[in-house]
Amino acid sequence: MFAYILRAQQPPSEQTDEFFRRFKESPGLLHAYSLQAEDDPSESVAIAIWESREAAERYLESSPLRREVDQTMPTITRTFYTVRDSK
């Protein structure tokens, strides 16, 4: 399994909710979590667990949604991880 954590300084909105709804339909995506900081409503985090690094790379390289998200939320950062263990 492979994961990435996406961080953005943007409060939730109908647009970000729609992005996340569409994102959850991505091929190869096993789990996705949308988190909001309790003490800072502008801090958002999404955690994506993919079946493989290749599935995540396919999304990142070719998804129109990924380009929309990047254009709409320029503060986004992504950090990539190999999942070593899970329950």
Domains annotated for the chain, with CATH where assigned, are: 2-82 (3.30.70.100)
Rounded Cα gap, residues 87 and 74, in angstroms: 34
Q: How far apart are the first and last CA of the chain?
A: 12
* Maximal CA-CA distance, the chain: 35
67 pLDDT band, cuts 50/70/90, is confident
The mean pLDDT value of the chain amounts to 92
Rounded Cα gap, residues 44 and 32, in angstroms: 13
**Is 25 or 65 the better-scoring residue by pLDDT?**
25
pTM for this prediction: 0.86
